[in-house]
């Protein structure tokens, strides 16, 4: 499946979070922008740098009314251990069962795991930024902040 385009309504989903409760994208509508940070694997070297980098910027994201959601095809059990090891305060959602969300966003690799990708979804549920990143590099968060700042300018 192809990656949805900027300007389209983001595919809604419900995925299990670290505590087992389901997190639904549409629950954030009208309340907050959302950064979906797809990543390949818990405990892998680049992901072990990427996610703490997002954690380090969490206050900045929240100042821009943005919730951060990490998504991979790893299990909820793996996510709990990974988040605890890294001290993450944002949820890691598991697309382990069926991998339908990774497929809907066009980031599921043939091998069965996610691309490293970022999507910013505004409060209306519209995709405002979409990018697949180099698997061997931590993505540049400044591009995300530029997009979020432009959303604030539109208000």
Residues annotated as catalytic (active site), given as ranges: 47
Residues 6+ apart with CB under 8 A from 80: 18
Domain locations along the chain: 14-154
* CATH class as words, domain 14-154: alpha beta
How much is the pTM?
0.96
Q: What is the pLDDT of residue 155?
A: 61
Q: Over the stretch 54-111, which tens digit does the pLDDT of each residue have?
A: 999 999 999 999 999 999 999 999 999 999 999 999 999 999 989 999 999 999 999 9
At 154, the pLDDT band (50, 70, 90 cuts) reads: confident
Identify the residue whose tokens are 């409760």. Answer: 21
Query: DSSP of 66-96, one letter per residue?
Result: EEEEEEESS-HHHHHHHHHHHT--S-EEE--
């Amino acid at each position: 499946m192809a990656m949805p385009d900027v300007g389209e309504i983001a595919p809604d989903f419900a995925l299990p979070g670290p505590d087992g409760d389901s997190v639904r994208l549409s629950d954030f509508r009208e309340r907050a922008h959302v950064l979906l940070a797809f990543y390949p694997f818990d405990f892998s070297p680049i992901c072990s740098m990427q996610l703490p980098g997002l954690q380090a910027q969490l206050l900045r994201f929240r100042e821009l009314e943005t919730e951060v959601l990490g998504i991979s095809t790893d299990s909820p059990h793996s996510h709990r251990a990974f988040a605890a090891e890294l001290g993450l305060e944002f949820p890691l959602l598991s697309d382990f069962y069926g991998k339908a969300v990774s497929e809907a966003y066009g980031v599921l690799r043939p091998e069965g795991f996610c691309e490293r990708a970022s999507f910013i979804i505004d409060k209306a549920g519209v995709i405002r930024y979409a990018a697949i990143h180099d698997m061997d590099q931590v993505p540049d968060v400044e591009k995300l902040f530029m997009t979020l700042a432009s959303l604030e300018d539109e208000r």
